[in-house]
Chains A and B, each alone.
Chain A
Amino acid sequence: MGRYVARRLLQMIPVFIGTTLLIFLMVYALPGDPVRGLFGDKGGSPQVIAALRHQYGLDQPILVQYWDYMKGIILHADFGTQIGSGRPVTDVLGDAFPVTLRLGGFAFVIELVLGIGLGVFAGLRAGRAADTSVLMVTLLLISVPVFVLGFILKWIFADELQWLEPNVNDPTNYGELLMPAIVLATASLAYVSRLTRTSIAENMRADYVRTAIAKGLPRRRVVGVHLMRNSLIPVVTYLGTDIGALLGGAVVTEGIFNIQGIGGTIYQSIVRREGTTLVGLVTILVLVYLVASLLVDLLYAVLDPRIRYA
Chain B
Amino acid sequence: MPDMTKSDTATAAPDAVDATAPAPQPVKAEKTRSLWGDAWEDLRRNKIFLISAVLILLLLTITFFPGWFTSANPTYGDLAKHYLQKPQLGKVFSPEWLGYDQQGRSVYARLIYGARASIAVGFGTTIVVTIAGGLVGMIAGYFGGIIDSILSRLVDVFFGIPFLLGTMVVLNSFPERTAWVVIGALGFFGWTQLARVMRGAVITTKQSDYVQAAKALGASTPRILFRHILPNTLAPVIVVATISLGVYIGSEATLSFLGLGLNGVSWGNDISDGGNQIRVAQWIMLYPSIMLTITVLAFIMLGEAVRNALDPKTR
B163 partner residues in chain A, CB cutoff 8 A? 245, 248
CB distance from B281 to the nearest CB of A (A): 11
A286 touching B169 in the complex, CB below 8 Å, given contacts A132-B1, A145-B292: no
Would you give the 0/1 interface string for B148-169, flagging 1 where the beta carbon is closer than 8 Å to chain A? 0000011011101111111011
Identify which of B157, B301, B313 gathers the most chain A CB atoms within 10 Å of its CB: B157
A22 partner residues in chain B, CB cutoff 8 A? 157-158, 161
Q: Does A62 contact B (CB under 8 A)?
A: no
CA distance A139 to B156 in the complex (A): 28
Contact of B169 among A16, A27, A142, A202 (CB under 8 A): A27
CB distance from A200 to the nearest CB of B (A): 13
CA distance A249 to B258 in the complex (A): 12
Q: Does A310 contact B (CB under 8 A)?
A: no
CB distance from A35 to the nearest CB of B (A): 16
**Which segment of A116-124, A147-155, A210-218 sits at the interface?**
A147-155
A155 touching B282 in the complex, CB below 8 Å, given contacts A143-B246, A143-B300, A146-B254: yes
CA distance A265 to B54 in the complex (A): 43
CA distance A47 to B257 in the complex (A): 38
- Contact in complex: B293, A244 (CB < 8 Å): no
A139 partner residues in chain B, CB cutoff 8 A? 297, 300-301, 304
Q: Does B285 contact A (CB under 8 A)?
A: yes
Contact of B161 among A19, A155, A267, A270 (CB under 8 A): A19
Contact of B157 among A18, A30, A152, A154 (CB under 8 A): A18
CA distance A11 to B160 in the complex (A): 13
Q: Does A168 contact B (CB under 8 A)?
A: no
- Contact in complex: A145, B250 (CB < 8 Å): yes
CB distance from B102 to the nearest CB of A (A): 16
Q: Does B202 contact A (CB under 8 A)?
A: no
Closest to B279 in A: A159
CB distance from A128 to the nearest CB of B (A): 10
Would you list which residues of chain B between 135 and 179 have a CB under 8 Å from chain A? 153-154, 156-158, 160-166, 168-170, 172-173
- Contact in complex: A248, B165 (CB < 8 Å): yes
Would you give the 0/1 interface string for B293-309, flagging 1 where the beta carbon is closer than 8 Å to chain A? 11011001100100000
- Contact in complex: A30, B173 (CB < 8 Å): yes
- Contact in complex: A251, B169 (CB < 8 Å): no
Give the contact-size bracket for chain B: 35 or more
CA distance A159 to B293 in the complex (A): 23
- Contact in complex: A252, B278 (CB < 8 Å): no
Would you give the 0/1 interface string for A218-258, flagging 1 where the beta carbon is closer than 8 Å to chain B? 00000000000000000000000000110111011001000
B169 partner residues in chain A, CB cutoff 8 A? 23, 26-27, 30, 270, 278
Would you give the 0/1 interface string for A101-141, flagging 1 where the beta carbon is closer than 8 Å to chain B? 00000000000000000000000000100001000000110
CB distance from A246 to the nearest CB of B (A): 10
A245 partner residues in chain B, CB cutoff 8 A? 162-163
Q: Does A46 contact B (CB under 8 A)?
A: no
Q: Does B242 contact A (CB under 8 A)?
A: no
- Contact in complex: A31, B293 (CB < 8 Å): no
CB distance from B186 to the nearest CB of A (A): 14
CA distance A139 to B27 in the complex (A): 35
The main secondary structure of chain B at its interface with chain A is: helix
A15 touching B160 in the complex, CB below 8 Å, given contacts A23-B169, A145-B296, A273-B172: yes
CB distance from A23 to the nearest CB of B (A): 6
Q: Does A198 contact B (CB under 8 A)?
A: yes
CA distance A255 to B164 in the complex (A): 14
- Contact in complex: A252, B257 (CB < 8 Å): yes
Count residues of A near B (Cβ-Cβ below 8 Å). 50
- Contact in complex: A152, B289 (CB < 8 Å): yes
Q: Does A86 contact B (CB under 8 A)?
A: no
Would you give the 0/1 interface string for A175-205, flagging 1 where the beta carbon is closer than 8 Å to chain B? 0000000000000000000000010001000
- Contact in complex: A142, B165 (CB < 8 Å): no
A147 partner residues in chain B, CB cutoff 8 A? 253-254, 257, 271-272, 275
A23 touching B289 in the complex, CB below 8 Å, given contacts A155-B282, A159-B279, A278-B169: no
Contact of B254 among A26, A152, A252 (CB under 8 A): A252
CB distance from B289 to the nearest CB of A (A): 4
- Contact in complex: B162, A30 (CB < 8 Å): no
Q: Does B314 contact A (CB under 8 A)?
A: yes
Closest to A132 in B: B1
- Contact in complex: B161, A251 (CB < 8 Å): no
Contact of B292 among A11, A16, A148 (CB under 8 A): A148
- 8 smallest CB-CB distances across A and B, nearest first, come from A248-B162, A18-B157, A30-B173, A143-B297, A143-B296, A19-B160, A148-B289, A151-B275
Taking A151-B285, A152-B289, A155-B282 as given, write out 12 further A-B residue pairs in contact, using a Cβ cutoff of 8 Å, ordered by the A residue number: A11-B153, A15-B156, A23-B169, A127-B1, A139-B300, A143-B294, A144-B289, A144-B293, A144-B296, A145-B250, A251-B168, A290-B160
Chain B contact residues, CB within 8 Å of chain A: 1, 153-154, 156-158, 160-166, 168-170, 172-173, 246, 250, 253-254, 257-259, 271-272, 275, 278-279, 282, 285, 289, 292-294, 296-297, 300-301, 304, 313-314
Between A and B, 23 residue pairs with Cβ closer than 8 Å are A15-B156, A18-B153, A18-B156, A18-B160, A19-B157, A19-B161, A139-B297, A139-B301, A143-B246, A143-B296, A143-B300, A145-B289, A145-B292, A147-B271, A148-B292, A151-B271, A151-B275, A151-B285, A247-B162, A249-B164, A266-B165, A271-B172, A285-B162
